[in-house]
Amino acid sequence: MTKVAKKGRTKAELDQVIHHVDKLVDELAKGKAMDKVLRAPAG
Protein backbone atom coordinates (compact mmCIF):
# COMPACT_ATOMS: atom_id res chain seq x y z
CA MET A 1 0.00 0.00 0.00
CA THR A 2 1.39 3.42 -0.91
CA LYS A 3 1.65 6.44 1.37
CA VAL A 4 -1.14 8.09 -0.61
CA ALA A 5 -3.49 5.18 0.01
CA LYS A 6 -2.57 5.08 3.69
CA LYS A 7 -3.48 8.74 4.09
CA GLY A 8 -6.93 8.02 2.73
CA ARG A 9 -6.89 10.44 -0.19
CA THR A 10 -9.85 10.23 -2.48
CA LYS A 11 -9.62 10.13 -6.26
CA ALA A 12 -11.01 13.66 -6.38
CA GLU A 13 -8.26 14.90 -4.07
CA LEU A 14 -5.60 13.17 -6.15
CA ASP A 15 -7.09 14.62 -9.34
CA GLN A 16 -6.87 18.10 -7.80
CA VAL A 17 -3.21 17.61 -6.87
CA ILE A 18 -2.43 16.33 -10.37
CA HIS A 19 -4.21 19.37 -11.85
CA HIS A 20 -2.12 21.77 -9.74
CA VAL A 21 1.12 20.00 -10.66
CA ASP A 22 0.13 20.08 -14.33
CA LYS A 23 -0.48 23.84 -14.14
CA LEU A 24 2.89 24.32 -12.39
CA VAL A 25 4.69 22.38 -15.12
CA ASP A 26 2.90 24.40 -17.82
CA GLU A 27 4.00 27.69 -16.27
CA LEU A 28 7.59 26.49 -15.87
CA ALA A 29 7.62 25.29 -19.48
CA LYS A 30 6.61 28.81 -20.56
CA GLY A 31 9.81 30.05 -18.91
CA LYS A 32 8.40 31.56 -15.73
CA ALA A 33 10.57 31.42 -12.63
CA MET A 34 9.50 28.91 -9.98
CA ASP A 35 9.31 31.53 -7.22
CA LYS A 36 7.00 33.71 -9.32
CA VAL A 37 4.76 30.78 -10.22
CA LEU A 38 4.45 29.63 -6.61
CA ARG A 39 3.69 33.14 -5.34
CA ALA A 40 1.11 33.93 -8.01
CA PRO A 41 -2.42 34.42 -6.61
CA ALA A 42 -4.90 31.70 -7.48
CA GLY A 43 -7.42 32.44 -10.14
Q: Domain residues for 25?
A: 3-39
Residues 38 and 21 sit within 8 Å (Cβ to Cβ): no
Give pLDDT, residue 5.
55
Tell me how far CA of residue 27 lies from CA of 9, 16, 20, 24, in angstroms: 26, 17, 11, 5
Burial class (CB in 10 A: 0-12, 13-18, 19+), 27: middle
- What pLDDT, in 10s, does the model give residues 6-15? 567 788 999 9
Residues 37 and 27 sit within 8 Å (Cβ to Cβ): yes
The amino acid at residue 28 is: L
Total domains in the chain come to 1
- What pLDDT, in 10s, does the model give residues 9-39? 788 999 999 999 999 999 999 999 888 888 7
pTM over 0.85: no
